[in-house]
Amino acid sequence: MSNLKYGIMGGTFNPIHNAHIRMAEEVRDILDLDKIIFIPTGTPPHKNNLNIDALDRYEMTKLAISGNDKFEVSDIEVLNKGVSYTVETVGKLKEFYPNVEFYFITGADSILDIYKWKNPEKLLSLCKFVSVKRPNYSDDLEAKIKEIVDKFGGEILLVDGPLLNISSTEIRERVREGRPIYDFVPQKVADYIKENKLYIKWI
């Protein structure tokens, strides 16, 4: 029986930014995880008009984590032609790594949307959740998390995050307006966005 613990950092990553990387680092450190698998969404159930190729989001994720041997990126959702549901993705990972304990990492507020996700009960039986506090998180977050666990079971850990006020939406707006994004994303990601002329026409 292995004692390995892997984090899963799922995200639209449109684009991936420094807060994503920092929160993954923080969680890996706090929970002493063996590695973190970044999983860019293919066609996510909750955002259906992304206007960007999933492979571009995947490439940017690969560039953002390059050089960190505790980080890995998976194309499991990007290569899936249909809609990717987290419960199915984590189910596949559990089949592939039956003895690994998985921790799905989310922002503090996005965990509150889990009621709308596919089969939350099964998902919470497959992995633990780690909810990372971010700037302006809800005051009653702990109570709301308790309600989720009371309803669906499982375990949701609440951890302090890096509190970086960065959002993918702001980055896309800055690119469109021709403003710099070097403080927001790793240099290689900024270069990729520029070279591939991403986010110029639409946000």
Q: Is residue 118 part of the contact set for ligand NAP (CB under 6 A)?
A: yes
Cα 160 from Cα 137, distance rounded (Å): 11
Site for ligand NAP in 127-156 (CB under 6 A): 132, 134
Applying CB under 6 A, does 186 fall inside the site for ligand NAP? no
68 binds ligand NAP (CB under 6 A): no
Binding status of residue 38 toward ligand NAP by CB under 6 A: no
Please give the size of the binding site for ligand NAP, defined by CB under 6 A: 29
CA distances from 140 to 100, 136, 193 (A): 32, 11, 38
User: Shortest distance, CB of residue 161 to ligand NAP, whole angstroms?
Assistant: 5
**What is the widest separation between alpha-carbon atoms in the chain?**
53
Tokens of 81: 């032609």
Q: Is 80 a binder of ligand NAP (CB under 6 A)?
A: no
Verify binding: residue 7, ligand NAP, rule CB under 6 A: no
Residues that bind ligand NAP (CB under 6 A): 10-13, 19-20, 23, 41, 44-47, 84-86, 106-110, 117-118, 132, 134, 161, 164, 166-168
